[in-house]
Structure 1
Amino acid sequence: MEPLQSVNNISDISIQALATQWISASKMCPGSFSVQGVFVTSDKGVLDDKIFTAANNILHDLCNLLLQGNNFCTLIDKDNIPIIFLAYSIASKKAMCRAYTHDVMGGSFASMNCYFLDKPIDWYAFECCYELDDIFPIFDDTRKINIEDQFQRAISSMKQSLSKCEIFIENAFVDDSLSLEEFVTINRKNEANENYKATLFLPVKCHQGSENFIKVRKFKGTIRLTGVISSRIWCTKTNVLGDVKRFLRNDILRSLAARIQVYCDGLTDPHVSNDVIFISEPPRRIFFNIFVDGTINAIQFSEYIFRGEAPTVAVAQAKQVLDLDVSSENIVTDMEGLPDDEIFSDMSLSNLQKTSTQQIGNSTKYLTRSIYILSISLTLLILLLSVWMHYFFH
């Protein structure tokens, strides 16, 4: 991604570059954070409302581009949440803020107050590991299917399933309305700087007593997603535990969507044949620390690297996308392990066909051997029976 060039007028901002940076930053944010909007600075001493006229047009085009494009991060955060537009004057050190709400007619601004905190925020971290092993059917019967559309259906299905799951924190059921401040007081871990552990319990997809949940359908292919998604989110005492659960769900979906986005960005054509086996090793998630003096638990953002890539890729991305200077010592790489080489080396189409042929050959060999042994056993039995009858009657 090319960095945004310095512009003298807000109307000169590239919408495409802004959307690209928006998507890149969304993939790096944990589930408790999101891209809030657009922040511009000006060297003018006085800010006026004229700046919001141009900003309205920019945000309208930006929202249309994000919603129309095949990017999976906006599929997760597609709620019509107001976008913040913040303008700051370097000369007067004053800011003006508006909340933009998008609609097809062009959108509108509403008044919004903003202020800068004079001290760091204390963050509390929650983490969990989500073991993913799901198979999603493909019902499209065309010769060439759009793999991006199929991934979107898979993400929507996972989003629906996760919305119904129950989340235990520290191996206990917790009330959604309980404030995080009360929960921290009960389960204090600040001295050891430890993260609170969360566990997801997914609902049963089929119930024996309800025939409405069971359907038998023909399909033309499948998408299998398997692996472990590591999740970490950061909250403040003003949050309730219901927020914590929602942030964890969002983080898992966002992490999966980011990897699918990386895979689809590498496709020259989103249309694939429905009779071909495709196997892909997705990138693994790593975290990098963003240290803030005085905080209880420093927050982390994430990046995704492929096998063979150095973790320092996160350093360059943090600088390019977030304008953050990250030290390579602050990168956490042990949350997700690399898959075994044999898993992918043995799962190619030729190997699958070869394995199938070997299994058929082995079955034939074992069947022939069994018949041979059975014939010998019957012959010996008849021989013993004949000897017994000879001595019995004579």
Structure 2
Amino acid sequence: MVRTVYSPEYCLQYLEQYASKEIFVIGLILGQSTAARENVIHLARTPDEKSSESASETSYVLDKIETKTLLNVSEAWVADHAKHVTRMLPGGMFVQGIFITSDEDIFEEPNSFSKVKSIVNHIYKAMNANQYMFGNCPYSNERLMLHMSTSTKVLTCKSIEVGAPAKSTMIKPVEWKFLPKPQQWQRLDCYYEFDDVYPVIVKKSGISVKQQFQQILESAHKTIESSIMFIDGELKDNSEVLESLFKKKKPKTNSKSVQQELPKSMNVSLFVPFENSLPETVEYLECDGSIHFSGVVSSSVFMYPKATVSETIAAVKQDIIRSLASRFTMHCDALIDDNLLPEEKVCFNEPPRRVLVPVGALYLCDYLFPGEAPAEALLSVRELLDLKITEADVICDVETPADTSEFDALDRDASSEELLATPQEASQFMYITGICFAMFVLIVSIIIHYYDGIVKVVSKVLSK
């Protein structure tokens, strides 16, 4: 059976836009794969790689100089683009492959096809580097290769299995269908609160922020995977379809009105069973400090209405962990020094917060560091997704900036402790004070004991 992929019609216009200019373009195919259907949500052109003299390795700035041929493309550059875009995708959505507009037939020309296979395999390996990013779709290892000829405007799509030996690689045809109407999506919103304390053991080199974040991420992943999900306050059967859950709550009406109301959000709650919240083993450690990890992660997932509850559960859990992993990676990349010195008694780390950006009929996300304005998200969307949006389109209130009141109180306490004497200094002070007091008592005692004699001596001296 031929694999079928559904895409919004504006994706065809997007491809024709570049094909009509007769220029070479390579980019990413973003979408969602469920048992019911495979949907493409967006095509994102990969920015042209700038030379090392004018830009850093991860700088995504659209340059005027176009990459002329497929053979000039850097696999690492496209894979890096895929990693950055994956951070912006909600759970359940992945980079499903690549698209190319060029004059040559990439499926017939051996060197070109070899290059395409190398690119998709490089993306696959790069995505596997961090398991908590959920970069690769867990349901299939097949990746799409979409090509539009700049001369004939003919569109061809095929799939190839990644991660397999080169000799066993099979190329399969894919039927690509464009939808004249926007695809309906079921939105699910969740707010997951973290409030955990982790031990810190200080080494000679200091405390590695990255290692501490990795510890938090591993613990959060284990907890969330064991959680049970409720939709609109009810426990649903894993085999149920989202569309049927929505229709059960609606009064009987015509199908058109149901179609229009589908995007209504469903509320998701995750509960961790009590037995799963307890540690497997109890170990006593001598720790030098602790990390208080607290905050709320906002999660907005968009699912195909005919997706099952089990697929939705997986998407929501992926979204929360992917969001945490993205923030931690961005925060660590922005640090000047990964190590905190033992002298730093109190340290506050605030990873970037999540904002939503519109892409077609749904929302992807971006992250803003403390003090950054929504305009920063516009730049990311333009560079990574090749989209132009306005500042008013960015939804910034899904998460609020961190509350620093607890940190400020701890910082004041630490400053007060520094003003106080150390135990050694206090001991020396008490020792000297004791000696002085003893000498004073001794002198007073001598004066009292020999008071009469002292008075006679003083009188004789004064009478002379």
TM-score by length of 2: 0.66
Q: Check the 8 A contact 1:82/1:102 in 2, yes or no.
A: no
Query: 2:103: which partner in 1?
Result: 43
Find 1:249's aligned residue among 312, 317, 320.
317
Cα separation, 2, equivalents of 1:38 and 1:44: 16
Query: 1:202: which partner in 2?
Result: 272
Q: CA deviation at 1:115?
A: 0.6
Residue type of the alignment partner of 1:255: S
Query: 1:321: which partner in 2?
Result: 384
Q: CA deviation at 1:199?
A: 0.8
Cα separation, 2, equivalents of 1:146 and 1:259: 16
Query: 2:353: which partner in 1?
Result: 284
Query: 2:408: which partner in 1?
Result: 345
Residue type of the alignment partner of 1:234: F
Q: CA deviation at 1:270?
A: 3.3
Structure 1 window deviating more from structure 2 (324-333 vs 259-268): it is 324-333
Cα pair distance change 1:357/1:155, threshold 3 Å? same
Cα pair distance change 1:347/1:85, threshold 3 Å? farther
Query: 2:74: which partner in 1?
Result: 14
- Structure with higher Rg: it is 2
Cα separation, 2, equivalents of 1:29 and 1:311: 18
Q: CA deviation at 1:263?
A: 0.7
Cα pair distance change 1:359/1:253, threshold 3 Å? farther
Q: Check the 8 A contact 2:299/2:316 in 1, yes or no.
A: yes
Q: CA deviation at 1:221?
A: 4.9
Q: CA deviation at 1:10?
A: 1.9
Q: Check the 8 A contact 1:99/1:112 in 2, yes or no.
A: no
Unaligned 5+ runs, structure 1:
292-297, 361-394
Cα pair distance change 1:78/1:184, threshold 3 Å? closer
Matched, 1:264 2:332: yes
Matched, 1:213 2:280: yes
Indicate the SS of the match to 2:267: strand
Q: CA deviation at 1:227?
A: 0.5
Show CA shifts across 1:170-191 (max 9, x none).
1111111101221121134854
Q: Check the 8 A contact 1:101/1:109 in 2, yes or no.
A: no
Q: Check the 8 A contact 1:312/1:328 in 2, yes or no.
A: yes
Residue type of the alignment partner of 1:196: M
Q: CA deviation at 1:72?
A: 7.2
5 Å-filtered alignment, 1:73-112, equals 74=133, 81-90=141-150, 91-102=152-163, 108-112=169-173
Structure 1 window deviating more from structure 2 (83-92 vs 136-145): it is 136-145
Indicate the SS of the match to 2:238: coil
Cα separation, 2, equivalents of 1:15 and 1:330: 33
Q: CA deviation at 1:118?
A: 2.4
Indicate the SS of the match to 1:246: helix
Residue type of the alignment partner of 2:60: E
Find 1:116's aligned residue among 177, 189, 196.
177
Q: CA deviation at 1:254?
A: 1.3
Residue type of the alignment partner of 1:113: V
Cα pair distance change 1:267/1:81, threshold 3 Å? farther
Cα separation, 1, equivalents of 2:86 and 2:332: 16
Indicate the SS of the match to 1:226: strand
TM-score by length of 1: 0.77
Show CA shifts across 1:306-361 (max 9, x none).
2322112222211110011222222211111223343443343xx3423567999x
Cα pair distance change 1:356/1:195, threshold 3 Å? farther
Residue type of the alignment partner of 1:284: R
Cα pair distance change 1:7/1:100, threshold 3 Å? farther
Cα separation, 2, equivalents of 1:164 and 1:333: 30
Query: 2:193: which partner in 1?
Result: 131
Matched, 1:230 2:292: no
Show CA shifts across 1:183-231 (max 9, x none).
12113485495311111112225689xxx83412315554432111111
Cα separation, 2, equivalents of 1:268 and 1:333: 27
Q: CA deviation at 1:301?
A: 0.8
Matched, 1:335 2:398: yes
Query: 2:10: which partner in 1?
Result: none
Cα pair distance change 1:46/1:84, threshold 3 Å? closer
Q: CA deviation at 1:279?
A: 1.2
RMSD across aligned positions (CA): 3.3
Indicate the SS of the match to 1:27: helix
Matched, 1:354 2:415: yes
Indicate the SS of the match to 2:94: coil
Unaligned 5+ runs, structure 2:
1-58, 251-257, 422-464
Cα pair distance change 1:338/1:44, threshold 3 Å? same
Cα pair distance change 1:58/1:192, threshold 3 Å? closer
Cα pair distance change 1:106/1:126, threshold 3 Å? farther
Q: Check the 8 A contact 2:128/2:135 in 1, yes or no.
A: no
Show CA shifts across 1:83-114 (max 9, x none).
33333323332213222321587984542413
Cα separation, 2, equivalents of 1:346 and 1:45: 65
Q: Check the 8 A contact 1:76/1:253 in 2, yes or no.
A: no
Q: Check the 8 A contact 2:94/2:135 in 1, yes or no.
A: no
Cα separation, 1, equivalents of 2:274 and 2:325: 23
Q: Check the 8 A contact 2:227/2:270 in 1, yes or no.
A: yes
Show CA shifts across 1:272-305 (max 9, x none).
44664431122221112234xxxxxx30011111
Cα pair distance change 1:183/1:82, threshold 3 Å? same
Cα pair distance change 1:41/1:343, threshold 3 Å? farther
Cα pair distance change 1:172/1:87, threshold 3 Å? same
